[in-house]
C-alpha cells in the first residue's frame, strides 16, 4: 500500500471516529432527537462506504467524495429545514448534526482527493 493510500485510510478512519464521538456527545448532551438519529445513520453509512472501499480497492473515488458531499449537504439542509431545538453546548450553539457531519464529510472529500492519482495514459 502506497503512502497516499495510507494517508487516505487514516483520514477516513479519523472521520469515522469523529462521527462515533459526535454520536456519543449528542446522546450525552441531548438537545433533540434528530441530531443523534442523523449522526447514527451517517455513521452506519460511513462504515458501509469504508467496508466497500476496503473490499473493492478500485471503487471509484467519486463515490467516496460524493458520500462526503452528501453528509455536508445533509447537515446544511437540516439546519435550514429541521425544527429548532436547543443549541448544542459547544461550538457557538451549532446543532450536533453540524458538529458531526460537516467535518466528517469534508474529511471524506479530502481522503478521496489524497488517494487520487493522475492516470499516466492521459498525460501527453
Sign of CA dihedral 94, 69, 3, 122: negative
Based on the structure, what is the number of domains in the chain? 1
Tell me the percentage of the chain whose pLDDT exceeds 70.
Answer: 86
Question: Is 122 domain-assigned?
Answer: no
Question: Is 124 domain-assigned?
Answer: no
Question: Is 123 domain-assigned?
Answer: no
Question: Is 8 domain-assigned?
Answer: yes
Mean pLDDT of 57-66: 88
Question: Is 84 domain-assigned?
Answer: yes
The separation between CA 94 and the C-alpha centre of its own chain, rounded to angstroms, equals 17
- pLDDT band at residue 117 under the 50/70/90 scheme: confident
Question: Is 71 domain-assigned?
Answer: yes
Instruction: Compute the distance between CA of residue 55 and CA of residue 34 in angstroms, rounded to an integer.
Output: 32
Question: Is 121 domain-assigned?
Answer: no
Rounded to two decimals, the pTM is 0.86
Q: Which domain holds residue 83?
A: 3-116
Question: Is 35 domain-assigned?
Answer: yes
- pLDDT band at residue 92 under the 50/70/90 scheme: low
Q: What is the pLDDT of residue 123?
A: 46
pLDDT tens digits, one per residue of 10-56: 999 999 999 999 999 888 887 777 888 999 999 999 999 999 988 88
Amino acid at each position: 500500500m502506497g503512502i497516499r493510500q495510507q494517508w487516505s485510510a487514516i483520514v477516513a478512519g479519523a472521520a469515522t471516529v469523529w462521527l462515533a464521538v459526535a454520536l456519543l456527545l449528542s446522546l450525552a448532551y441531548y438537545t433533540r432527537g434528530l441530531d443523534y438519529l442523523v449522526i447514527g445513520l451517517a455513521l452506519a453509512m460511513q462504515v458501509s462506504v469504508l467496508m466497500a472501499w476496503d473490499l473493492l480497492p478500485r471503487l471509484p473515488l467519486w463515490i467516496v467524495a460524493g458520500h462526503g458531499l452528501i453528509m455536508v449537504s445533509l447537515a446544511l439542509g437540516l439546519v435550514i429545514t429541521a425544527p429548532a431545538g436547543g443549541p448544542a453546548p459547544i461550538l457557538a450553539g451549532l446543532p450536533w448534526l453540524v458538529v458531526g457531519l460537516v467535518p466528517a464529510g469534508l474529511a471524506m472529500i479530502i481522503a478521496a482527493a489524497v488517494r487520487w492519482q493522475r492516470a499516466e495514459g492521459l498525460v501527453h
